[in-house]
A = this chain, B = another copy of it.
Amino acid sequence: MKLNRELRRDAPIGVFDSGVGGLTVFREIMRQIPNEKIIYFGDTARVPYGSKSQETVIRYSEQIVRFLRTFQVKTIVVACNTASAYALDTLEKDTDIPIIGVVKPGAKAAAEVTRNGRIGVIATEATIGSQIYTEYIRELNRDVTIYGKACPLFVPLVEEGLLQDPVTDEIARRYLAELIDIDIDTLILGCTHYPLIRSTLARIVGDRVTLVNPAYETAKELKEMLQAQGLLNDESPSLGSNQYQFFVSDKAEKFVRFANSIIKYGILSAKAVNMEEY
């Protein structure tokens, strides 16, 4: 990648995900660097990416990058673990603006935090199958063992609103049992929906296990990168300037309902776009 030197610090940041999950990353960016403008894209027509092939996920991600670049974004955050695992390398190669995924920052935090060298990763089937967390963590720290566990029911449970519920508790207990047995001391929430059931997960794994939230770590790394490149916006956007804009590939209404339930920022609206044009 050759960096584009024309980037403006008041340009927006592009953030994308396969659907609503990336809003947990959006929320962290909003909190940690509140002066930035953000264009969020949720690929709600083609969600979930977790069950799709690498080829398909790359093709979709490339379309979305083309769409986000029509807004002259200064950087893009791939706020989706599957797309970060499958498409980040390809996107970085083909793009002249910085691109950040959610996997590396999460992996880095976990490698630093573990004491006993046993790290658990919970995520979708695709993220676990890709072994991407294992790969990144072991680049940083060869003395650790990583245990992956796919948890396909967590996303639908979160989207059904069962954030605090005995059913979610029971499913979480089943999914986490083997990781607890193996005595992990660090657990990566490797899917962007999972921070929304963080308190349930924390209760089940207990105090001895540190939870790593890649959404938080990604926003932190984004801030550091923008600072290092002189791209951090130092002035808050003028009033009425549409600081946050949301786009989806289908069903804006449902997206808005979910977004408003997790982001406390007035009432959000979203526009639908046809991705096959990009």
User: In the complex, which of the residues B51, B153, B171, B250 contacts A52, with contact meaning CB atoms closer than 8 Å?
Assistant: B250
Minimum C-beta distance from A52 to chain B (A): 5
Minimum C-beta distance from A17 to chain B (A): 15
CB neighbours (8 Å) of A156 from chain B are 152-153, 155-156
Q: Within the oligomer, what is the number of copies of this chain?
A: 2
- Interface digits, A142-173 against B, CB 8 Å rule (1 contact, 0 not)? 00000000001101110110000011001100
Interface with B: A41-49, A222-230, A263-271, which one?
A41-49
Minimum C-beta distance from A235 to chain B (A): 39
Q: Give the B-binding residues of A (Cβ under 8 A).
A: 44-47, 51-53, 56, 152-153, 155-157, 159-160, 166-167, 170-171, 250-251, 254, 272
Inter-chain pairs besides A45-B52, A45-B56, A153-B156, 11 sampled, C-beta below 8 Å:
A46-B46, A51-B250, A52-B250, A53-B251, A56-B250, A152-B159, A153-B157, A155-B156, A156-B156, A166-B170, A167-B171
CB neighbours (8 Å) of A56 from chain B are 45, 250
Minimum C-beta distance from A162 to chain B (A): 8
